[in-house]
Amino acid sequence: MNKAYLWHPFTQMRDYENTDPLIIERGEGIMLFDVQGRAYYDGFSSVWLNVHGHNVPELNEAIADQLGRVAHSTLLGMANIPAIELAAKLAEITPNGLNKTFYSDSGATGVEIAIKMAFQYWSNRGNTRKKTFVTMDQAYHGDTIGAVSVGAIPLYHEVFRPMLFPSHVIPYPYGYRHTGGAPGAKEATLTALRLLLETSGDEIAALIVEPIVQGAGGMIVMPSGCLREMAELCREHDVLLIADEVATGFGRTGAMFACDLEGVTPDLMVVGKGLTGGYLPVAATLATDEVYGAFHADYLERKTFFHGHSYTGNPLGCAVALASLKLLEERNMVQGVIAKESFVRRKLKALEERPHVGEIRQKGLMIGIELVRDKALREPFAWEDRIGVRVAARARELGMLTRPLGNVIVFIPPLASTEDELDVMTDLLTASIVDVTEGQSSA
Ligand SMILES: *Cc1c(COP(=O)(O)O)cnc(C)c1O
């Protein structure tokens, strides 16, 4: 049935048809169980979403409780209680100055909203020259057409190029692959941005960035100070800053938001993924009062933001998001991530010595391990080697789920994982990498 009727995202279905399909039946804590009853650690938080684990009583109750009132009512010109309360909560926990929440249902739609808002912001202010966007090499902002237009991963995005709007691309500071290391990479990014803003700043609406960690591009961690300097350059040149915190938000990097790590307040911020604890599809685009103000006008001026989705502000989703944020606070989980971060760092230390482990990158509980064919030369494995896919397959055999990004092995455990669980998961991760890259595996 699965193979007959489902078309899976980001999946070559011909390959998939020849695999032993994994069909999940239930979850408990950080474990997932398949229809055969086999247990797996959720080593990638079900694609970077999960915060508190699965089947969490408090979250289940929040949904059931709301379900007993109303499952959905629209936000077009009316409101519902969880949507209001969540917006107030987001204003409280996001960087100072972000006070207005616009809901949607995925990271991609949240990004679409941010870029449309940035574009219309300038137009509403009477500036019709500022129309383009700056993005960063290997950026991923979701899969709808606007989000793909500010995306820069050739494997995913190139085929659609003819239907996209063009964006400026500056390098993301990728120290491991820069001749000058992290300092050189940071300098190259800032120089490229400065130059671009000096020559073309007057036609640029906004810069969009994955703050501190570039996720799908390979878990690339920015050198410190880079984000803050980028934000300052934007401010100097009157260019809006859009922070895509879809992957990094809600404690993942060891701060509530990655922007907090450098005291940056963006003009627009997109959140999704972990917002509902990984339970339901709710995303939000937050705007400063300044951005909001440019839309606040006489009806006849046509400055309204004409955008919305059927399920914008869904009460069930907002209710579970509120419950998730409550647990995050009550259990002091963002603080907890910092302790877990150093535990995992110590555990993975030995892996650095292995012959095919090029670099281990980590911020909070967001970890990417870049595998290389030749360590001294930093020579990548060929794409055709599917090294990441093979390591993930081995991990599954050993009882842990993850999904690679090319040659980068992803380890993004739920924030609620205990040290004991992290201990087992890092052992499984190590074993999968060693088995596959050092040749003791059938995978
Ligand atoms: C996952 C992701 C998105 C897209 O979110 P969806 O909910 O899958 O549409 C956007 N930006 C970043 C940084 C992401 O990691």
The answer to whether 277 and 51 are in contact (CB under 8 A) is: yes
The residue count for the chain: 443
Q: Which CATH code of 3.40.50.2000, 3.30.160.20, 3.40.640.10, 3.40.50.11610 fits the domain covering 61-330?
A: 3.40.640.10
∠ CA 419-254-49, nearest 5°, is 80
H or E, element range at 320: helix 315-330
d(CA 297, ligand 1 centre) in Å: 32
Residue-wise pLDDT tens digits, 350-364:
999 999 999 999 999
Q: Using CA atoms, how far apart are residues 245 and 115, in angstroms rounded to an integer?
A: 14
Is 108's C-beta closer than 6 angstroms to any atom of ligand 1?
A: yes
Indicate the pLDDT class of residue 4, thresholds 50, 70 and 90: confident
Is 233's C-beta closer than 6 angstroms to any atom of ligand 1?
A: no
Kindly report the pTM of this predicted structure: 0.97
- Kind of pairing, strands 204-209 and 132-136? parallel
pLDDT at position 441: 44
Q: Cα-atom radius of gyration of the chain, to the nearest Å? A: 22
- Which atom of ligand 1 is the closest one to the Cα of 214? 13
Query: Is 308 annotated among the ligand-binding residues?
Result: yes
Architecture of domain 2-55+332-437: Alpha-Beta Complex (3.90)
Place of tokens 């239930």: 26
Residue nearest to atom 5 of ligand 1 (CA): 107
Query: Is 235 annotated among the ligand-binding residues?
Result: no
The answer to whether 344 and 321 are in contact (CB under 8 A) is: no
- At residue 145, the 3 state secondary structure works out as helix
Is 245's C-beta closer than 6 angstroms to any atom of ligand 1?
A: no
Residue 266: closest CA among 204, 199, 206, 219: 206
pLDDT at position 2: 78
Residue nearest to atom 6 of ligand 1 (CA): 107
Is 53's C-beta closer than 6 angstroms to any atom of ligand 1?
A: no
- Which atom of ligand 1 is the closest one to the Cα of 144? 9
- At residue 371, the 3 state secondary structure works out as strand
Beta-carbon contacts of 137 under 8 Å, excluding residues fewer than 6 positions away, are 152, 169, 170, 171, 172, 174, 217
Residue-wise pLDDT tens digits, 288-308:
999 999 999 999 999 999 999
* Domain limits, the chain: 2-55+332-437, 61-330
∠ CA 310-97-165, nearest 5°, is 55
- For residue 213, count other CB atoms closer than 10 A to its CB: 24
Is 142's C-beta closer than 6 angstroms to any atom of ligand 1?
A: yes
Is 272's C-beta closer than 6 angstroms to any atom of ligand 1?
A: yes
Indicate the pLDDT class of residue 443, thresholds 50, 70 and 90: very low
pLDDT at position 440: 56
Residue-wise pLDDT tens digits, 216-228:
999 999 999 999 9
Question: Where do the H-state alpha helices sit in 167-288?
Answer: 181-200, 226-236
Q: What is the DSSP code (8-state) at residue 372?
A: E
Work out the average pLDDT over 6-26. Answer: 93
